[in-house]
Amino acid sequence: MRKYFAKILVYDLTKYTNLDNKKILDVGGASGEFSKYIGENFNCQIINLDPEPVNPVWKTVKATADKIPFEDNTFDIVFFRGVLEHIQPKFQQASINEIFRVMKQDSFGYFVIPPWYNFHAGHGLKPFHLLPFPIAKFLRNLFFKKKITHNSYEEASLYKVTHKSTQYKINKAGFSTLATLDTHLRMHFITKIPLIREALVPAVAFIVKK
């Protein structure tokens, strides 16, 4: 699946810029499998960044998104995929601001979030994540083999993010949004429809420019 979505990213992003000869940062890239695919298929320098990497398969820097250990104006491209919903709300704006800081002028970002009101957004608690946590946990454990042991959404590191709230944070950081795309169903026009996009788009990609 990571390879598939890496190909989707490349297809979407290369309409605006190419990846060759670029310095790229993947913020919150876990073990670095996504970075590995990009690094092995493009002539670029890509670094994976994650606060708790497990068995990294690519060059990985251990850090959080709100405290990126690189100088201003370092990167040509930054990926920020499926991470914002795992960051505590009080650090979300700071994280996007940090990404803006380390990006060069006229550089590009590819940010992806699962809008909270879509069934896909609940990760390990989907499709019950819209319910109070005790009910969501009970139903998830009732119908699925993999059991939930957390006692709250916060303990599960799962926070509500929406298309609207993410767009606000992107704008506040100083980015321009070039496009919003439906990464799963590829029905991009839905990302332009307020309210409906919050429920019908499993994951929306914001292609942004500094």
Per-domain boundaries in the chain: 2-116+160-209, 118-159
Quote the Cα angle for 127-128-129, to 5°. 100
Based on its alpha-carbon atoms, the radius of gyration of the chain, rounded to whole angstroms, reads 17
Question: Residues 35-63: pLDDT tens digits?
Answer: 999 999 999 999 999 999 999 999 999 99
Band (169; pLDDT cuts 50, 70, 90): very high
Quickly name the fold that domain 2-116+160-209 has.
Answer: Rossmann fold (3.40.50)
**166: helix, strand or coil:** helix
Question: Residues 108-137: pLDDT tens digits?
Answer: 999 999 999 999 999 999 999 999 999 999
Tokens of 131: 């319910």
Sort strands 176-182 and 204-209 into parallel, antiparallel or unpaired: antiparallel
Strand order in the sheet with 204-209: 60-62, 45-50, 23-27, 75-81, 103-113, 204-209, 176-182
Question: Residues 11-32: pLDDT tens digits?
Answer: 999 999 999 999 999 999 999 9
Q: How far apart are CA 13 and CA 190, in angstroms?
A: 19
* Mean pLDDT (whole number) for 74-82: 98
With beta carbons less than 8 A apart as the criterion, state whether 74 and 150 touch: no
Q: How far apart are CA 100 and CA 50, in angstroms?
A: 17
| 1 pLDDT more than 80 | no
pLDDT confidence of residue 2: 77
